[in-house]
Amino acid sequence: MAMKENKLAENVDGAYYVDDDCIGCRLCEGNAPKNFKMKDDDSTAYVFKQPENEKEKHVCENALDECPVEAIGNDG
């Protein structure tokens, strides 16, 4: 389960975030490329844009559900 107190600094403010448990598997980026991207060193992903519509919320929820290490959180 993602912990908001362990959010990565690169996340933009908002409900969705990636915490420091991320292993850089790219699954979230593949599921929601309009919302998640990898850091320049490919070590972890982060939320660069919060979802703006129902479709983006849906793919972010899919990314959250499929994260193998539960590093994605939703405080919304």
For the whole model, what pTM was predicted? 0.95
Q: What is the pLDDT of residue 76?
A: 84
Topology classification of domain 4-74: Alpha-Beta Plaits (3.30.70)
Q: Kindly list the domain boundaries of the chain, sorted by start residue.
A: 4-74
Single-letter residue type at 74: N
- CB under 8 Å to 8, separation ≥6 — which residues? 17, 18, 19, 20, 22, 44, 46
Q: What is the pLDDT along the chain (76 residues), one digit of tens a residue?
A: 999 999 999 999 999 999 999 999 999 999 999 999 999 999 999 999 999 999 999 999 999 999 999 999 999 8
